[in-house]
Amino acid sequence: MHGDYRLRLVGTCGTAEIFWARGRVEVTTSDRPMRVLDLPEGRRPAEEALDAFAAGRTPEVGTRESVAVTRLALLAQASADRGGEALAWSRDAD
């Protein structure tokens, strides 16, 4: 399916895989079999941001949040590359 965006979250006791285009989440845990949860109707990937720009308002997820989550993802990757070393969030980058 074109545009079948997915996100897999892996934890110590299970996984959740979000299938955006199919509108579902598959959840598997160490103590329960896989179950499927339906997602509420969503929007296309850039729809909300483009609608906000056209209306002259700030998108639901603005620049500040986007930069913060990118920093968090990069910090998590750096920690994983160092064998799970705990890394501090630098206040200098705020």
Domain-embedded: residue 94: no
| Average confidence (pLDDT) over 8-29 | 91
Domain-embedded: residue 20: yes
Q: Is the pLDDT of residue 93 over 60?
A: no
Do both 38 and 1 map to the same domain? yes
Q: Does the model's pTM come out above 0.85?
A: no
| Average confidence (pLDDT) over 40-57 | 86
Residue 23's domain comprises 1-42
Residue 25 and residue 65: Cα distance in Å, rounded?
24
Do both 50 and 38 map to the same domain? no
Structurally, the chain folds into a number of domains equal to 2
Do both 30 and 60 map to the same domain? no
Do both 50 and 34 map to the same domain? no
Residue 3 and residue 22: Cα distance in Å, rounded?
10
Do both 32 and 57 map to the same domain? no
Domain-embedded: residue 90: no
Domain-embedded: residue 92: no
Q: Is the pLDDT of residue 56 over 60?
A: yes
Per-residue confidence (pLDDT) for residue 50, from 0 to 100: 92
Residue 24 and residue 41: Cα distance in Å, rounded?
10
Per-residue confidence (pLDDT) for residue 31, from 0 to 100: 94
Do both 37 and 57 map to the same domain? no
